[in-house]
Structure 1
Amino acid sequence: MRKDEIKAIFDQQAAGYDAQWAKTLPIRNCLHLLLDSIFAGLPVDARILCVGVGTGAELVHLAQKNPQWRFTAVEPSGPMLDVCRQRAEQEGVASRCHFHEGYLDSLANTGLYDAATCFLVSQFILDQTARSGFFREISRKLKPGGMLASSDLASDVESPEYEVLLRAWMNMMAAADISPEGMERMRTAYANDVGVLAPGRIASMIESGGFETPVQFFQAGLIHAWASTRAPGDAT
């Protein structure tokens, strides 16, 4: 699936995106709880890059917890970024945010960041070389030793474990009131349009993108999350 096709899908989903996934909030809340621990050592005035920020869930969470942090929200879908901006305004944190509609390659160079988030984004890059290059784009935006917290759908799709996890995942989607048609679209997307790879393979792509060996700090069903730091000797 091309960038413009992915963007069009999220453009269409933006208005109802949070409501659609409301019943899966415990997963996101647990991820954010652990994210707080991962980022606990950052400076009191840290600058955070949120890549593919969507409707801004992690941005608002981190901003509420850390009143002096500043954020750059990067999102190619204008409607999704509008929801993020509105959310930040409602929560009183928009004055600490810069909103960039587009991709990393069009983001102005305004200095390096202390940390970045990238949740459920790289999975849409099917070419593995390009996916590793995407992580390198992020590493170039970070200070040496800067932190990355990233998550993606991950599993060895050839293994028996994947069928168990996929079945449980689909059961959870059904319990969350995702329509049968929506679940069928998801199943098709996982097979054709989402780069669901073994966790070790994704960690390897993060590392080859200029990071030290990633540490998996979270798993909920098919969602895995890693923490990593920009490698000290990595060239920008």
Structure 2
Amino acid sequence: MNQDEIKTIFDQQAANYDAQWAKTAPIKNCLHFLLDSLFIELPSDARILCVGVGTGVELAHLAQRNSAWRFTAVEPSGPMLDVCRQRAEKEGFASRCRFHEGYLDSLPDTGPHDAATCFLVSQFILDRAARSEFFREISSRLRPGGILASSDLASDVESPEYAVLLRAWMNMMSGADISPEGIERLRKAYANDVGVLPPDTIVSIIQSGGFERPVQFFQAGLIHAWLSKRAPGNASQGRSD
């Protein structure tokens, strides 16, 4: 699938997205629990870039715990971003957010951010050079020493381990009330439309995108998450408050 096809799918799922995946919340909650400890040394007035923010779950988590942080929420799906904006308004932190419907390359220069999140996003970029450039777009919007917390589906799909993890993953989806038809669509998507790569390969892609070698801090089934620090000498945009 190309970007427009992926965007259309998320457009269609936006209204029920959170409810659909509610039973997988323990994975999300654990990831966010660890994220707090990784971001704890950020400035009290930190600026956070949320790439592919979706319905804004991780943005809300961070905003609730850090009352002076400001956020740039980037999401190509208008309906998903609408849900994110509604969440921010309902929970009282919308005034600290800048909402951008589109991709990073169309985000106006608002100055560097102290940190970024990018959860389950880069896996939809199948071309490795383009995937590396995607991370370079993120790194260019971070201050020197800025950090990125990112996650993607990852595994060596040719290995026996992948067969075990994939079976367990699909069983988990079934337990989360995903229909048999939906499970089969996911299985086909993982084979054709999602860049499920070995973890070391993803580490290399992130590193070639302007970061120091990432450190894996989380794994739950096929989801892996890394903490990356912007490499010295990678040009960033000028600060504008």
Compute the TM-score of the two structures, normalised by the length of structure 2. Answer: 0.97
CA drift of 1:54 comes to 0.2
Question: 1:191 maps to which residue?
Answer: 191
Cα distance in 1 between the residues matched to 2:169 and 2:91: 32
Question: 2:147 maps to which residue?
Answer: 147
CA drift of 1:235 comes to 3.4
Deviation per CA, 1:141-171: give whole Å up to 9, x if none: 0001000000000000000000000000000
Question: 2:104 maps to which residue?
Answer: 104
- The equivalences for 1:53-202 within 5 A come to 53-202=53-202
CA drift of 1:234 comes to 2.0
Aligned partner of residue 105 in structure 2, secondary structure: helix
Unaligned runs of 5+ in 2: 237-241
Unaligned runs of 5+ in 1: none
Cα distance in 1 between the residues matched to 2:129 and 2:157: 19
The letter of the residue matching 2:35 is L
CA drift of 1:86 comes to 0.4
CA drift of 1:113 comes to 0.3
Question: 2:24 maps to which residue?
Answer: 24
Cα distance in 1 between the residues matched to 2:174 and 2:108: 42
Deviation per CA, 1:16-52: give whole Å up to 9, x if none: 0000000000000000000001111100000000000
CA drift of 1:189 comes to 0.1
CA drift of 1:232 comes to 1.3
Runs of 4+ aligned residues of structure 1 deviating over 4 Å after TM superposition are none
The letter of the residue matching 1:12 is Q
Cα distance in 1 between the residues matched to 2:189 and 2:94: 34
CA drift of 1:233 comes to 2.0
Aligned partner of residue 156 in structure 2, secondary structure: coil
Question: 1:11 maps to which residue?
Answer: 11
The letter of the residue matching 1:204 is S
Work out the percentage of aligned pairs sharing the same amino acid.
80
CA drift of 1:85 comes to 0.3
Cα distance in 2 between the residues matched to 1:38 and 1:227: 8
Indicate yes or no: 2:226 matched with 1:226: yes
CA drift of 1:110 comes to 1.0
Aligned partner of residue 16 in structure 1, secondary structure: helix
The letter of the residue matching 1:117 is T
Question: 1:48 maps to which residue?
Answer: 48
> In angstroms, what is the RMSD of aligned CA positions?
0.6
Cα distance in 1 between the residues matched to 2:85 and 2:164: 38
Query: How many positions carry a matched residue from both structures?
Result: 236
Compute the TM-score of the two structures, normalised by the length of structure 1. Answer: 0.99
